[in-house]
Each structure stands twice: as C-alpha cells, then as structure tokens.
C-alpha cells in the first residue's frame, strides 16, 4: 500500500505526445487566425483601391460638370444682351424720336412762317 501512496504523490508523468498535439492545435489556430486577418487586409486594400478609383472618377465628373455650367452661364448671359432683347426699346426710341423730330420740324416751320 505504501507503494500506491508513493505513486499517487508523484506528479503525473508529462505526456509529450499530448503536449505536442496541443502545441500543434494552437499553432494551427494561430495560423488560421493569421490567414483570416490576411484575407481581411487584402479585401480591405482592394476595396480601398476601388473607392479611390471611384473618387477620381467622380472628381473628373465634377470638373466636367463645372465646365459645362460655366459655358452654359456664359451662353445665358450672352442671350440676355442679344439684339432680340434690345429690339423693342430700340424701335420705340426710333419711333418716338422720329415723331419728336418731325414735330420739331413742324413747329420750326410754323414759327418761321
């Protein structure tokens, strides 16, 4: 009986095979976590490149729209001062100025008489 007690008091022998399996499992788990993180990083990089490409496209579109707006603004401003817009006041000035001129000649003729 003493011998049984002696063996039970001894620390259990180290199982090198079990420890190796645990180490391998830990290494495999760490490797799978590293692979998952690597794929996340790769996916994030590709998404970042795609977004940067889209931003540059949008910036080019904005520049093009600004150029179109500027040309449209210039075109609209030039239409504001076109001959069609000024034709009515011009002809009114000619008509009333002509009537005034004719009236002035008539009055001059009456006075000289």
pLDDT at 1: 45
Measure Cα distances from 90 to 1, 79, 81, 83 in Å.
133, 17, 13, 9
The pLDDT score that the predictor gives to residue 10 is 53
Confidence of residue 92 (pLDDT cuts 50, 70, 90): confident
Side-chain half-sphere CA neighbours of 1 within 13 A: 0
Q: What's this model's pTM, rounded to 2 decimal places? A: 0.46
Mean pLDDT of the chain: 84
**Confidence label for 13 from pLDDT (cuts 50, 70 and 90):** low
């Amino acid at each position: 009986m003493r011998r049984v007690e002696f063996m039970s008091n001894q620390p259990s022998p180290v199982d090198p095979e079990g420890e190796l399996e645990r180490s391998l499992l830990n290494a495999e788990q760490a490797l799978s976590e590293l692979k998952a993180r690597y794929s996340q990083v790769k996916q994030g990089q590709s998404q970042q490149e795609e977004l940067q490409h889209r931003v540059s496209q949008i910036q080019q579109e904005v520049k093009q729209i600004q150029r179109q707006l500027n040309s449209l603004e210039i075109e609209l401003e030039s239409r504001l001062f076109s001959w069609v817009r000024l034709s009515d006041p011009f002809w009114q000035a000619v008509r009333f100025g002509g009537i005034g001129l004719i009236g002035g000649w008539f009055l001059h003729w009456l006075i000289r008489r």
